[in-house]
């Protein structure tokens, strides 16, 4: 399968790689169907690996507009990006870019994994990872996100390290194996297309979702230069015999 190439290969992006003052408030979360697993390592718990759907009730910050959310503010797909807190309706700090430099940004291993997910789904869209078509695929993506967060930079191994998972259903194993066939082969997801939502305290679980960065509008000086170039080209055409 072909690796998904950057959605923004020829487009300049106006998104900072560091955390800003942007916030996102989610009124409620709905948990999709997934796979119940047993987790050991840094955290020992029984949990469900699944995708979430949230409704955005408010957002602030110059980095965000209503078009920043991949599907819509009423249907924002996301996955859990930690295991130490509980999910609830919250106001989150929106974090853009990778970790480091931002303490709560997405890890490079996660970007590598999400690139592999997109290559496996092969839908041709950089946000395919948000649109899992089955519960097994959603569960596999969620498990991979935990593994690449807690064991960033290490080999993908669910039986050792800071994150370990057991009891996976057969469908989840099949989907995860398909993704991992592209892991380290497919191009990593562009960090400008990812946003993490960070908060602390009870009902404060971090999440990871997609981001549609705005196109960078050319500055007036650049537009003037483009106009001069076009005019010069027109003159040259007119001078041809």
pLDDT at 197 over 80: yes
Residues 6+ apart with CB under 8 A from 70: 76, 77, 127, 130, 209, 210, 211, 212
- Rounded to the nearest integer, the mean pLDDT of the chain is 84
**pTM for the model:** 0.81
Which pLDDT does position 146 carry in this prediction? 98
pLDDT at 228 over 70: no
Q: How do the domains of the chain map onto residue ranges?
A: 23-239
pLDDT, one tens digit per residue, over 73-94 is 999 999 999 998 888 878 999 9
Q: Please enumerate, as own/partner, the contacts of 119-125 that have beta carbons within 8 Å and a separation of 24 or more.
A: 119/1, 119/2, 119/3, 119/4, 119/182, 119/185, 119/186, 119/187, 120/1, 120/178, 120/179, 120/181, 120/182, 122/1, 122/2, 122/4, 124/4, 125/4, 125/7
pLDDT, one tens digit per residue, over 11-56 is 223 333 333 479 999 999 999 999 999 999 999 999 999 999 999 9
Mean pLDDT of 110-127: 97
């Amino acid at each position: 399968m072909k690796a998904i190439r950057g959605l923004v290969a020829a487009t300049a992006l106006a998104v900072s790689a560091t955390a800003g003052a942007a916030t996102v408030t989610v009124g409620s979360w709905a948990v999709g169907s997934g796979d119940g697993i047993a987790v050991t390592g840094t955290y020992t718990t029984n949990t469900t690996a699944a995708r979430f759907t949230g409704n955005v009730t408010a957002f602030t910050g110059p980095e965000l507009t209503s078009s920043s959310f991949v599907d819509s503010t009423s249907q924002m797909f996301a996955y859990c990006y930690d295991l130490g807190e509980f999910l609830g309706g919250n106001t989150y700090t929106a974090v853009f870019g990778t970790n480091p430099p931002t303490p709560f940004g997405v890890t490079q291993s996660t970007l590598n994994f999400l690139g592999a997910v997109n290559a496996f789904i092969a839908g041709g869209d950089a946000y395919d990872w948000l649109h899992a078509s089955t519960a097994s695929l959603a569960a596999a993506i969620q498990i991979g996100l935990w593994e690449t967060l807690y064991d960033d930079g290490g080999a993908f191994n669910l039986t050792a390290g800071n994150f370990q998972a057991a009891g996976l259903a057969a469908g989840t194993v099949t989907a995860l194996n398909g993704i991992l066939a592209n892991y380290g082969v497919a191009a990593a997801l562009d960090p400008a297309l990812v946003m993490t939502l960070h908060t602390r305290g009870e009902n404060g679980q971090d999440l990871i979702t997609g981001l549609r960065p705005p196109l960078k509008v050319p500055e007036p000086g650049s537009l003037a230069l483009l106009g001069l170039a076009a005019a010069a080209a027109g003159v040259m055409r007119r001078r041809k015999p």
